[in-house]
């Protein structure tokens, strides 16, 4: 009799749930369980409601109660997976999704949720495969098409990402106008140099930032002509929309023999961050600092990965762990200073710092701008990238290093064999302008100037990285439209970093981009002996090359306006003696200035860490720090 009553109550609850009367449905599900405590469906639906309201521990408990009643219920396994993922237990969550799929291979949502978790963990190839399975079962699943686009971006498959986003928008016309789509679509188009509607797209994104609408990918702001204040507004808006988990550090003052510094990154691999920082990790003073790496990116088994891993006292691979688990590990280790090397870049784990696992949390190097987060205490900068008048535009307290904020590795190898111009596909007798920035930093405004420079300097070519076949084709077509023969654009294929540095010796002048400068690519060029011409931007991402040029003693290669930039490029192309003088000075300064003195940089950043630590030990709040 009770079971029959429970069945009737369950049907009433489901009807209420379908109508959106969730609170009333929850009451009725509870009635079902009073009549039939072993009703697996009622436990499962109550768990779903709990998860929808952010009560994931309750959701997991309900899912487990449902499975105790019916171990083969795929819906309950999916629910448990969702709850465990939110609770920071990704391995257990994946096991739940896999069990659901084994029980019901056609469960599209199980494949979709599994894909979402894999993408969150940075396992993008696996995520794409799961999205494809989900969409084969449910071709109209808008969220899966959209999230698949994000995974495709992370995998570097930009044309497919654009198609996936467009498919999502076609299925849901509201999405086509939604802010969530604009930033990733804009960045995907930049990556392949598709500048169709570029100015309208950029204007829309700027308008969103200025009206405090959320950008789903705040990294896009770096590619826009934003002021520092606008970048702060964009970052803060993004952070405000993220979950606010409980904080792990509650004000304790640790007492350690050495300052415990943990560097967090997904990029301890063949990546610009590792090429810049490897020497710093090796140079740290182990008598004063205990240095740990928390690596949540792939192990690509590269030489730089091995070098970086060997440089740390503790190298902890936490890729398979969720944000909560990583934060708990940091709290257990009693990390004094957590240095995030990611910001809002690909595969970041912002949720780790959001849990406040360390008393001092620092934004450094990976993201040239504020994170807008109340739980990030400091940003490491210099007087060029963050002038004093801009300090109010940073949520963090500014730590200003002398010279440049950017670390460089004095051991960065350059191939002993320099290829000839012919080997590089370059003409022997032409002036070679180059820009080896990735394609997303290129835009039609910069390209317009470059094409005017090529038209003025008739015997010249422009040497670029070949981001993709599509990007190269789009750039050649853009040159033709601007009256420059496509053959004057020459594309460099992929090669190892030592060989890439060596071939740069065959270029004459590096032309920088704006609003986002060359960063590692500028220091690469200077290390190879190649002068860099830059225009000073309004915000951090457009001021990095100027910081590097000042640090290496070449301030005359910093200009203020596009007109000055164009004029200076043409002058240097037409005056080989002036350019030769600059190259000789660069060659001399490379060995004598601070830019490539890794040991000196290590002492400077350690002085910054020490100042942060002393304030914390004294019970003082973070404050501006200037390292002499």
The whole-number pLDDT of residue 121 equals 84
Are residue 481 and residue 549 in the same domain, yes or no? yes
Are residue 384 and residue 487 in the same domain, yes or no? no
The whole-number pLDDT of residue 1 equals 43
Cα gap 574→322, rounded to integer Å: 57
pLDDT tens digits, 500-559: 999 999 999 999 999 999 999 999 999 999 999 999 999 999 999 999 999 999 999 999
The dihedral of CA 560, 561, 567, 568: what is its sign? positive
Residue 625 tokens, joined: 């720090």
Q: 159: which residues sit within 8 A by CB, 6+ positions away?
A: 188, 192, 468, 470
In a domain, 547, yes or no: yes
- What's the pLDDT band for 2 if we cut at 50, 70, 90? low
Alpha-helix runs per DSSP H in 19-73: 22-35, 40-52, 56-69
- What's the pLDDT band for 135 if we cut at 50, 70, 90? very high
Phi, psi at 340, each rounded to 5°: -85, 120
Are residue 360 and residue 470 in the same domain, yes or no? no
What b/e readout covers 506-526, taking b as 16+ CB neighbours within 10 angstroms? bbbbbbbbbbbbbbbbbbbbb
Residue percentage of the chain with pLDDT more than 90: 89
Cα gap 416→438, rounded to integer Å: 25
Contact predicate 260/330, CB 8 Å: no
Are residue 388 and residue 447 in the same domain, yes or no? no
pLDDT tens digits, 347-391: 899 999 999 999 999 999 999 999 999 999 999 999 999 999 999
- What's the pLDDT band for 422 if we cut at 50, 70, 90? very high
For the chain, what is the mean pLDDT?
A: 95
pLDDT tens digits, 17-44: 899 888 998 998 998 889 899 999 999 9
Are residue 590 and residue 492 in the same domain, yes or no? yes
Q: Can you give the residue range of the structural domain that contains 527?
A: 431-596
Residue percentage of the chain with pLDDT more than 70: 99
In a domain, 272, yes or no: yes
Are residue 443 and residue 592 in the same domain, yes or no? yes
pLDDT tens digits, 548-602: 999 999 999 999 999 999 999 999 999 999 999 999 999 999 999 999 999 999 9
Q: What is the CATH number of the domain that holds 312?
A: 3.40.50.11380
In a domain, 37, yes or no: yes
In a domain, 28, yes or no: yes
Q: Is the pLDDT of residue 219 over 50?
A: yes
Number of domains, the chain: 3
- The DSSP line for 550-587 is HHTT-GGGEESSHHHHHHHHHHHHH-HHHHHHHHHHHH
Residues comprising the chain, all counted: 628
Q: Is the pLDDT of residue 3 over 80?
A: no
Are residue 438 and residue 403 in the same domain, yes or no? no
Cα 514–Cα 516–Cα 521 angle in degrees, nearest 5: 105
- Of the candidate ranges 165-179, 231-245, 294-308, the one whose mean pLDDT is the lowest: 165-179
Are residue 534 and residue 461 in the same domain, yes or no? yes
Q: Is the pLDDT of residue 427 over 70?
A: yes
Question: Among 90, 105, 120, where does a domain finish?
Answer: 105
Q: What is the CATH number of the domain that holds 65?
A: 1.25.40.10
Question: Among 105, 122, 137, where does a domain finish?
Answer: 105
Question: Between 142-154 and 108-120, two packed helices, what is the crossing angle to 10 degrees?
Answer: 30
Question: Among 44, 76, 105, where does a domain finish?
Answer: 105
Burial class (CB in 10 A: 0-12, 13-18, 19+), 31: middle
Q: What is the CATH number of the domain that holds 497?
A: 3.40.50.2000
Residue 284 tokens, joined: 């740290």
Cα gap 512→448, rounded to integer Å: 13
Residue 181 tokens, joined: 């789509």
Contact predicate 31/24, CB 8 Å: no
- What's the pLDDT band for 176 if we cut at 50, 70, 90? low
């Amino acid at each position: 009799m009770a079971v029959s009553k429970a069945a009737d109550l369950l049907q009433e609850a489901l009807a209420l749930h379908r109508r959106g009367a969730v609170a009333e449905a929850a009451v009725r599900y509870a009635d079902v369980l009073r009549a039939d405590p072993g009703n697996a469906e009622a436990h499962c639906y109550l768990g779903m409601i709990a998860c929808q309201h952010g009560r994931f521990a309750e959701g997991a408990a309900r899912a487990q109660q449902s499975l105790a009643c019916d171990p083969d219920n795929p819906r309950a396994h999916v629910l448990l997976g969702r709850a465990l993922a939110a609770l920071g237990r990704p391995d257990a969550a994946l096991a739940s999704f896999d069990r659901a799929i084994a029980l019901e291979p056609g469960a599209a949502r199980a494949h979709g949720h599994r894909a979402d978790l894999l993408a969150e963990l940075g396992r993008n190839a696996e995520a794409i495969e799961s999205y494809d399975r989900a969409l084969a079962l449910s071709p109209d699943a808008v969220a899966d098409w959209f999230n698949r686009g994000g995974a495709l971006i992370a995998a570097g498959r930009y044309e497919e990402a654009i198609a996936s986003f467009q498919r999502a928008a076609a299925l849901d016309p509201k999405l086509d106008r939604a802010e969530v789509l604009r930033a990733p679509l804009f960045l995907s188009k930049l990556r392949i140099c598709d500048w169709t509607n570029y100015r309208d797209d950029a204007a829309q994104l700027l308008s969103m930032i200025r009206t405090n609408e959320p950008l789903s990918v705040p990294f896009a702001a770096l590619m826009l002509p934003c002021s520092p204040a606008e970048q702060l507004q964009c970052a803060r808006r993004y952070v405000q929309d993220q979950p606010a988990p409980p904080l792990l550090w509650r004000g304790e003052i640790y007492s350690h023999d050495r300052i415990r510094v943990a560097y967090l990154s997904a990029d301890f691999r063949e990546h610009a961050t590792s090429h810049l920082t490897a020497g710093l990790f090796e140079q740290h003073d182990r008598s004063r600092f205990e240095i740990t790496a928390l690596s949540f990116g792939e192990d690509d088994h590269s030489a730089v990965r091995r070098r970086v891993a060997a440089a740390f006292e503790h190298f902890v691979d936490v890729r398979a762990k969720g944000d909560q688990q990583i934060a708990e590990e940091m709290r257990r280790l009693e990390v004094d200073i957590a240095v995030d090397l990611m910001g809002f870049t690909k595969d970041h784990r912002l949720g780790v710092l959001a849990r406040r696992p360390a008393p001092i949390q620092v934004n450094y190097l990976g993201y040239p701008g504020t994170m807008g987060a109340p739980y990030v205490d400091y940003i490491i900068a210099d007087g060029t990238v963050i002038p004093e008048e801009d300090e109010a535009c940073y949520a963090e307290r500014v730590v200003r290093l002398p010279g440049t904020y950017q670390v460089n590795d004095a051991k960065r190898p350059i191939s002993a064999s320099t290829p000839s111009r012919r080997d590089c596909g370059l003409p022997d007798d032409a002036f070679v302008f180059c820009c080896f920035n990735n394609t997303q930093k290129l835009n039609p405004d910069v390209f317009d100037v470059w094409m005017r420079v090529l038209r003025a300097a008739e015997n010249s070519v422009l040497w670029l990285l070949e981001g993709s076949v599509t990007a190269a084709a789009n750039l050649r077509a853009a040159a033709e439209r601007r009256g420059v023969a496509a053959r004057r654009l020459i594309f460099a294929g992929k090669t190892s970093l030592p060989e890439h540095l060596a071939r740069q010796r065959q270029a004459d002048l590096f032309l920088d981009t704006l609003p986002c400068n060359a960063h590692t690519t500028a220091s690469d060029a200077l290390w190879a002996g190649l002068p860099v011409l830059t225009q000073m931007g309004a915000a951090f991402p457009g001021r990095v090359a100027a910081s590097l040029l000042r640090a290496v003693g070449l301030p005359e290669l910093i200009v203020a306006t596009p007109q000055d930039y164009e004029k200076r490029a043409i002058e240097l192309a037409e005056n080989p003696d002036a350019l030769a003088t600059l190259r000789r000075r660069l060659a001399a300064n490379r060995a004598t200035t601070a830019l490539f003195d890794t040991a000196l940089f290590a002492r400077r950043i350690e002085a910054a860490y020490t100042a942060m630590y002393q304030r914390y030990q004294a019970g003082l709040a973070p404050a501006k720090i200037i390292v002499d």
